[in-house]
């Protein structure tokens, strides 16, 4: 709102962001528009920088700009694997949205909801290009926030019937299976062995903790022919041999993947077939036959957040949601 520019910014709490009512279908569409821009090299996004105050924990600075959407801003996001022991979320953060023309901050919003939803949306978008369109069974390993948002997003694009849910805490996978049946109308089956969630699934999502030293539970021979896997927790879940079974290994941003490799992740992964911008623009082919095994390892981009946050801001203005704070 130009009359507030330079005077006030809109603060949106976590419940405000959720109350705005942006749908998963809208977020997937926003990401697809953004990845088309990225594929045409019309966006700006330096690789994440961050600090690491505790082992396997991070707080990352994620700036990005999408000129076609007049979107500019930054997310400051923390990920602490041990937070759950204290009853606190793994991922938390704040996002500042700037006015594209002047750089002036126009909004400050909680980034927890956005991070959950846009990550699920990125999985679904990758799956649109890499999974079999008739994919009906999903294996979710890690039944937390991402386990939920990834299934919600996949349900938008695929005729899902059954989800096999695995979590190291059996009570969590049981709760998840029940909840997803009720919310999404997908039959939920809680399993006690991670293999059961992989071998029978058309789509596999691993969403446990990100570890510099992978626990590498998933072995070669588990991911079945024609399946697609989304590695939300990087390569933490996968033995290198299992990853190398992929016919196509994709990511959302190659420089970022190389950056992570340089700091110790992804020490043994297959060659990268394409990034998501290349898949969306058709520069590189997605799935070419029903037998291929395909993998997307989306690292999570500032661009995902910046494709989503302006829509939340606009909708909040329209609905009168949020609190104005003086600059």
Ligand X SMILES: NC(=O)c1ccc[n+]([C@@H]2O[C@H](COP(=O)([O-])OP(=O)(O)OC[C@H]3O[C@@H](n4cnc5c(N)ncnc54)[C@H](O)[C@@H]3O)[C@@H](O)[C@H]2O)c1
Closer to ligand X by CB, 215 or 315: give it.
Answer: 215
Give every CB contact of residue 2 below 8 A, 6+ residues apart in sequence. Answer: none
Burial per residue of 137-160, b for 16 or more beta-carbon CB atoms within 10 angstroms, e otherwise: bbbbbbbbbbbbbbbbbbbbbbeb
Closer to ligand X by CB, 35 or 90: give it.
Answer: 90
> In 3D, which of 112, 117, 127 has the Cα closest to residue 231?
127
We find the least distance from the C-beta atom of residue 143 to ligand X, in angstroms, to be 5
Closer to ligand X by CB, 9 or 257: give it.
Answer: 257
Closer to ligand X by CB, 9 or 307: give it.
Answer: 307
Closer to ligand X by CB, 141 or 227: give it.
Answer: 141
We find the least distance from the C-beta atom of residue 287 to ligand X, in angstroms, to be 21
Binding positions for ligand X, rule: CB under 6 A: 79, 84, 90-91, 115, 119, 141-147, 166-169, 172, 207-210, 215, 232-233, 298-300
CA 48/CA 44 separation, integer angstroms: 12
C-alpha count within 13 angstroms, C-beta hemisphere, residue 164: 20
Tell me, what DSSP letter sits at residue 44?
A: B
CA 210/CA 129 separation, integer angstroms: 25
Classify residue 42 by burial, with Cβ atoms within 10 Å: 0-12, 13-18, 19+.
middle
Closer to ligand X by CB, 137 or 217: give it.
Answer: 217
Closer to ligand X by CB, 99 or 167: give it.
Answer: 167
Give every CB contact of residue 76 below 8 A, 6+ residues apart in sequence. Answer: 59, 60, 61, 62, 93, 94, 95, 96, 111
We find the least distance from the C-beta atom of residue 128 to ligand X, in angstroms, to be 17
We find the least distance from the C-beta atom of residue 202 to ligand X, in angstroms, to be 19
Closer to ligand X by CB, 101 or 171: give it.
Answer: 171
> In 3D, which of 202, 296, 192, 198 has the Cα closest to residue 252?
296
Give every CB contact of residue 288 below 8 A, 6+ residues apart in sequence. Answer: none
CA distances 217 to 174, 175, 191, 221, 284, Å, are 20, 23, 15, 12, 30
Chain residue whose CB lies nearest ligand X? 144
Closer to ligand X by CB, 160 or 231: give it.
Answer: 231
C-alpha count within 13 angstroms, C-beta hemisphere, residue 257: 24
CA 95/CA 137 separation, integer angstroms: 34
Tell me, what DSSP letter sits at residue 46?
A: P
């Amino acid at each position: 709102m130009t009359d507030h520019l330079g005077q006030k910014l809109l603060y949106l709490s976590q419940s405000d962001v959720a109350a705005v009512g942006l749908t998963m279908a809208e977020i997937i569409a926003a990401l697809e528009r953004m990845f088309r821009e990225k594929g045409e090299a019309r966006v700006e996004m330096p690789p994440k920088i961050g600090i690491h105050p505790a082992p396997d924990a991070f707080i990352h600075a994620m700036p990005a700009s999408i000129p076609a959407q007049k979107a500019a801003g930054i997310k400051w996001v923390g990920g602490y694997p041990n937070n759950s022991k204290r009853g606190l979320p793994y991922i938390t953060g704040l996002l500042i949205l700037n006015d594209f023309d002047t750089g002036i901050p126009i909004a400050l919003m909680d980034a927890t909801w956005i991070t959950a939803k846009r990550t699920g949306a990125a999985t679904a978008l990758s799956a649109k290009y890499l999974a079999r369109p008739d994919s009906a069974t999903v294996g979710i390993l890690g039944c937390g926030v991402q386990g939920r948002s990834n299934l919600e997003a996949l349900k938008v694009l695929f005729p899902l019937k059954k989800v096999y849910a695995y979590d190291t805490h059996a009570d969590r996978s049981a709760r998840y299976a029940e909840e997803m049946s009720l919310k999404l109308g997908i039959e939920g089956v809680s399993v006690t062995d991670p293999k059961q969630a992989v071998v029978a699934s058309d789509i596999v999502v691993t969403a446990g903790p990100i570890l510099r030293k992978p626990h590498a539970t998933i072995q070669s021979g588990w991911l079945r022919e024609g399946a697609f896997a989304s590695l939300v927790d990087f390569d933490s879940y996968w033995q290198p041999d299992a990853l190398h079974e992929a016919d196509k290994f994709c990511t959302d941003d190659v420089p970022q993947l190389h950056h992570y490799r340089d700091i110790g992740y992804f020490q043994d992964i297959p060659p990268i077939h394409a990034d998501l911008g290349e898949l969306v623009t058709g520069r590189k082919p997605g799935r070419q036959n029903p037998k291929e095994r395909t993998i997307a390892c989306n690292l999570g981009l500032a661009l995902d957040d910046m494709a989503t946050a302006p829509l939340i801001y606009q909708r909040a203005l329209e609905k009168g949601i949020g609190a104005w704070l003086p600059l």
